[in-house]
Amino acid sequence: MSERLFLRLDEDPTQGPESEAPAATLRTLAFDAALRALVAHVLAYRETIAPGHEVAERVLPDGAVRIVFNLGAGAPNGLDSAAPSAWVIGAQAAPTLVRLRGTMDGLSVTLRPGLTQALFGLPAGEIEGAGVALADLWRSDAEQLLERLSRAVDDAARVRTLQIALLRRLRSQQPAAASLVTAASSLMRRSSGQCNVRDVAAALGVTERRLQQLFHAQVGLSPRTFNRLARLHGMLRALRRQAMPTSWAELAAGAGYYDQAHLANEFRTLCGLTPGEFMRRTISPSSKTAA
């Protein structure tokens, strides 16, 4: 079984230039302003893996909670378990290996930080690093939504159907706690993880303990872990700006790591690859890492 890499940073329309998935398999779907406070992006994916073949896709973490709808005959599955037709995937700080086979057709909906508890009625920390069937959370509403999505005539109709369902589940504006988490996560991302969690809490007028409680309920990762992912993403952006680092030590220091060893340990933990392995997989003579 072959393995390929998937990476998407906030600014990438579908996937990053390092990703090895065929470009035509993914498409970003437009959605109305009413959904922008809830959803970061919606991707439609369609792909057919040749009969008798499987592909393992290494998905690098971004700390987001997703709803994934599998509408085709085939489906992306975890390497150890089959995926339901619709499931909620908790935030995680480790790579996920997804097994691809058959003909796949579906939607991946990335939620903005702070909405898990309001949408699903449980703290985001309870599904950290795991997936739960949407039917276990929404009961009959999940089945009805799947039926409507399956009957939709095109992707635009699917997005409209999804928007109605999400707005109906919320029935109100974002709670104040969600707004605090949104502000905190934005500070961490803008600083590429080089801000101090204590300073983030102070900037928002809350204690570190309160910030930890909010992140457990609304994000699913601790503030420190979310900040580590933001720092990794800053490092990945730095790698895009140069075809091959002239000095890993200098690059590590510029990205906020203590030293080169700290960078290597974080890469292995968060990506399942060493920095060198990542570069060998993503660099080609034609340079896939253009900014």
Cβ contacts of 53 within 8 Å, gap of 6 or more:
1, 101
Query: pLDDT averaged over the chain?
Result: 88
- Segment 109-164, tens digit of pLDDT: 999 988 888 899 899 999 999 999 999 999 999 999 999 999 999 999 999 999 99
CA distance 151 to 127: 29
| pLDDT surpassing 70 at residue 274 | yes
CA distance 218 to 262: 29
What pLDDT band is residue 287 in, cutting at 50, 70 and 90?
A: very low
Percent of the chain predicted with pLDDT > 70 = 90
Tell me if residue 231 falls in helix, strand or coil.
helix
| pLDDT surpassing 50 at residue 188 | yes
The two tokens of residue 145 are 């939504």
- Segment 60-112, tens digit of pLDDT: 999 999 999 988 765 565 444 455 689 999 999 999 999 888 888 989 999 99
Residues pairing with 133 in the sheet = 87
CA dihedral of residues 232, 238, 243, 245 (deg, nearest 10):
-80
The two tokens of residue 2 are 């072959």
DSSP code at position 242: S
Task: Look at residue 113 in the predicted model and tell me its pLDDT.
Answer: 87
Tell me if residue 44 falls in helix, strand or coil.
strand
Q: How many residues does the chain have?
A: 291
CA distance 179 to 173: 10
Cβ contacts of 36 within 8 Å, gap of 6 or more:
none
